[in-house]
């Protein structure tokens, strides 16, 4: 089952049929430990609609309202390597090796709603950054009790020049206007995602792919429950939360994003999140 946030309603795709829920707040709808069961019961009493494509084209929104967006770092070997390379000259590389091995994961606050764009929105590069990449990540949708109730796709836009200069600059490398994309929908399943689920990244410039990469989520060093557990240890989330799980795809050192590039991230079970760089 897939749940899409529209600007004025909620669109549900279930068993090949589409249903539109109106007069219902996203925050209240989504924050439900039994989201699959409740939504299935709700749509069983509704009439399917036939204009879902038009609604998606005109009013698809990022699947986030009052939730905070958090992110996990250095959860894949490729992220550890990439960060060690970028911070080697400035002496920060040891921190990444240590956090990869440590019991406590790296978790950081990524963005509130107004810094996030949905599918089709424009992500941004900081004007004071010279080396930038998208980070394609599976995102956990968590209820206020900390339960994983769904999954979406995220782009954790990152400045490698600023983070590489000093790991203490991480909040500036990671958080700025247009720093994240989420969408296109929330996948709600009855059982956890299969471990061979793929995350695929394509970056295109002038209509040509200039970088492609993929990773299976079984390459992650940590469990999703483990990441969610640490996030909820000493933080409450009255409306639930979104947690990016880290990148396993990092382009080589000679690649930097440019204005006009198109970033497409696909998780076949969920869909494709596409954004242009402003
Ligand atoms: O350590 C800095 C952030 C890492 C990150 O965002 C990632 O691994 O995805
Ligand atoms: Mg990341």
- Measured in Å, residue 145 CA sits from the centre of ligand 2 at 24
Give the nearest ligand 1 atom to 108 CA: 3
Beta bridge partners of residue 213, listed in sequence order: 201
pLDDT digits (tens, 9 = 90+) for 101-135: 999 999 999 999 999 999 999 999 999 999 999 99
List all residues whose CB is within 6 A of at least one atom of ligand 1: 71, 73-75, 79, 83, 106, 135, 156, 170, 246-247
Report yes or no: 141 and 150 within 8 Å, Cβ to Cβ: yes
Total-model pTM: 0.98
**pLDDT tens for residues 37-48?**
999 999 999 999
Rounded to 5°, the CA angle 100-101-103 comes to 105
Q: How confident is the model at residue 209 (pLDDT cuts 50, 70, 90)?
A: very high
* Pick from 257, 149, 146: nearest CA to 193: 149
Residue 91 has pLDDT above 90, yes or no: no
- Ligand 1: atom nearest CA of 99 is 1
pLDDT band at 90 (very low <50, low <70, confident <90, very high): confident
Q: Which of 81, 246, 249, 251 to probe ligand 1 with, by most ligand atoms within 8 A of CB?
A: 246
Residue 92: its pLDDT value, please?
A: 81
pLDDT of residue 86: 87
| Other Cβ atoms closer than 10 A to 177 | 13
For residue 161, the model assigns a pLDDT of 96
* Residue 191 host element (H or E): none
Q: Assign 44 to helix, strand or coil.
A: helix
Atom of ligand 1 nearest to the CA of 170: 2
Residue 93 has pLDDT above 90, yes or no: no
| Bridge partner list, 12 | 3, 19
Pocket probe for ligand 1: among 77, 84, 158, 165, the residue whose CB has the most ligand atoms within 8 Å is 158
Which pLDDT value is given to residue 89?
85
CB 90 within 8 A of CB 166: yes
> What is the average per-residue pLDDT within 149-160?
98
Q: In terms of C-beta distances under 8 Å and separation of at least 24 residues, what long-range contacts does 218-224 make, across chains too?
A: 219/76, 219/77, 219/78, 219/248, 220/75, 220/76, 220/245, 220/246, 220/248, 221/75, 221/76, 221/77, 221/100, 222/72, 222/75, 222/105, 224/140, 224/148, 224/192
């Amino acid at each position: 089952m897939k749940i899409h946030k529209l600007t004025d309603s909620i669109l549900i795709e279930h068993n090949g049929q589409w249903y539109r829920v109106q007069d219902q707040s996203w925050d209240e709808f989504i924050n439900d430990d039994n989201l699959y069961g409740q939504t299935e019961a709700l749509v069983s009493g509704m009439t399917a609609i036939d204009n879902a494509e038009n609604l998606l084209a005109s009013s698809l929104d990022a699947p986030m309202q009052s939730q905070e967006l958090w992110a996990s770092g250095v959860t894949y070997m490729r992220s550890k390597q990439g960060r060690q390379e970028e911070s080697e000259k400035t002496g920060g590389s040891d921190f990444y090796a240590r956090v990869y091995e440590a019991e406590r994961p790296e978790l950081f606050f990524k963005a509130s709603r107004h810094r996030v764009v949905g599918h089709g929105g424009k992500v941004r590069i900081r004007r004071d950054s010279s080396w930038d990449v998208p980070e394609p990540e599976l995102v956990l949708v968590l209820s206020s009790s900390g339960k994983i109730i769904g999954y979406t796709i995220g782009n954790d836009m990152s400045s490698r020049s600023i983070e590489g200069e000093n790991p203490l600059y991480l909040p500036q490398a990671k958080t700025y206007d247009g720093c994240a994309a989420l969408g296109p929908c929330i996948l709600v399943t009855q059982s956890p995602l299969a471990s061979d689920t793929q995350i695929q990244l394509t970056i295109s410039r002038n209509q040509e792919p200039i970088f492609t990469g993929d990773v299976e989520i079984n390459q992650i060093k940590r469990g999703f429950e483990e990441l969610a557990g640490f996030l909820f240890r000493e933080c409450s989330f009255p409306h639930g939360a979104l947690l990016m799980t880290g990148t396993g795809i990092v382009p080589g050192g000679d690649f930097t994003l440019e204005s006009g590039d198109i970033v497409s991230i696909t998780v076949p079970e969920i869909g494709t999140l596409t954004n242009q760089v402003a």
